[in-house]
Amino acid sequence: MLPASLVGGNQKLVQIVDAALAESVRRSGEWLACKPGCSQCCTGVFAINQLDAARLKGGLKELEARDPDRAAQVRERARAAVERLAPTFPGDAATGILEESPQPPELWNDFGNHEVCPVLDPMTGTCELYEFRPMTCRVFGPPVMDEGELGVCELCYDGVSDAEIAKCEIRPDPENLEATLVKRLEDEHGLSGKTIIAFALGK
């Protein structure tokens, strides 16, 4: 659950990121293939921070109040994923916290590479906690600068020049608000380390 002291900051962060995404979507037009039911990016695990995890937990609690059956299905899929992933989890499987030291790329690529996100509705191909999704999910699709290169979804910008792609670049958090909120969460509530979605919701 998101602590009350961070609710306002989280809302501001989400608004900033979503506004940057909306502008990139406007500039991208038909080059951006993302749409409901397109869920290729929902396969394969990735690290999330504790702010993402708290947001997801709060979203699941809200879903439980609205639709207990759907929430139970999400939780059951998360628990099943934890059971599958625990034996090779690159961290503490008891807590779901990933090791802090950088993982060899081949180890991370092999870990959960074909695991479908437990929050994805298998019938509709849409996210059950879309409003509460992690920042990585929010910015995936449009061009985002990563280690000096613009990364884009392989389904998007087909045949588009690098220069045109660069015009659509998203700068989701220019003031680094997310890092500030994560540090506050860690300092105030003792939550630290990164995890993955399945462990955030299935432990």
pLDDT value of residue 45: 93
What would the DSSP string read from start to end of the chain?
Answer: ---HHHHHHHHHHHHHHHHHHHHHHHHHGGG----TT--GGGBS---B-HHHHHHHHHHHHHHHHH-HHHHHHHHHHHHHHHHHHGGG-SEETTTTEEPSSPPPHHHHHHTTTTPBPTTB-TTT--BTTGGG--HHHHH-SS-EEETTEEE--TTSSTT--HHHHHHT-B---TT-HHHHHHHHHHHHH---S-B-HHHHHH-
pTM above 0.85, yes or no: yes
Residue range of the domain that includes 108 = 4-202
**How many domains would you assign to the chain?**
1
- List, for residues 66-107, the tens digit of each pLDDT value: 999 999 999 999 999 999 999 999 999 999 999 886 666 566
Which carries the bigger pLDDT value, residue 56 or residue 2? 56
